[in-house]
Amino acid sequence: MVLAIPNGGVPVALEVASALKTELDLIVCRKVPMLLNPEGSLGAATDDGTVILNEEAVKRIGLSRQQLEHDISRIRADIKQRSLLYKGDRPIVRVSGKTVIIIDDGLASGYTMMAAVKSVRHRQPREIVVAVPVASAIAVKRLEKVADKIVTCTTSSATKFYLSDFYRYWYDLSDKDVIRYLKEWRAQQFRSNIEPRQDR
């Protein structure tokens, strides 16, 4: 099974799920952003309420727990809204006993993916594979501690890491883009299910 982290992970995950001929669903995650550093993270939260914090960054910046809780509550509200938009009232998908491939468009700090892995781990999968086109070396080290396997095309040790540097055409996907991709996927699955089978 493939789980995509929207927004950027959706088109990548569609290609992987299509190639593997497997199920596709979403795990809605959002990082708690670090001011003045768009690729940095104070932590992340997921659609089942899982939260993981970058304790070192929180301490360095000097945020109080009250300030941090305010930021997290805002992120949770955004996650709830996006979950309803993308998935409606469909329940969180069952992954017990399955190999789960969690996909995003890349790993900068790695905390969003770490939250996703922690969330999925609670659901007792057989194995969790993290798969991304590109990742920072520090993110890979963090994920090695929580995922069973990591697959990445490129790992960068650059001091300043930006996902956009590794894409020829980069733009932030909108919610409309995500919904369009999901509709295309469902239409593709519907066509596959109604195509007559050929004896070989």
pLDDT at 195: 56
Look up tokens 């493939």; give the residue.
Answer: 2
pLDDT of residue 199: 40
Q: What is residue 17's predicted lDDT score, i.e. its pLDDT?
A: 95
- pLDDT-based confidence at 200, cuts 50/70/90? very low
Tell me the domain boundaries of the chain.
2-191
pLDDT one-digit tens code per residue, 90-100? 888 889 999 99
Which amino acid belongs to residue 41?
S
Going by C-alpha positions, the residue among 145, 131, 56, 60 that lies closest to residue 100 is 131
The domain made up of 2-191 is a member of CATH 3.40.50.2020:
yes
The mean pLDDT value for 119-144 works out to: 97
Mean pLDDT along residues 84-105:
91
Structure confidence at residue 198 (pLDDT): 45
Instruction: Give pLDDT, residue 38.
Output: 61
Per-residue confidence at 177, pLDDT binned at 50, 70, 90? very high
Q: CB–CB of 26/3 below 8 Å?
A: yes
Quote the tokens at residue 21. Answer: 């001929």
- Per-residue pLDDT of 3-46, as tens digits, reads 999 999 999 999 999 999 999 999 999 998 877 676 678 999 99
* Predicted confidence (pLDDT) per residue in 56-73, tens digit: 888 888 888 888 888 899
Average pLDDT, the chain: 90
Average pLDDT in the 129-151 region? 97
Cα 8 to Cα 51: distance, rounded to the nearest angstrom: 20
**pLDDT tier at 166, thresholds 50, 70, 90:** very high
CA distance 100 to 105: 17
pLDDT at 63: 80
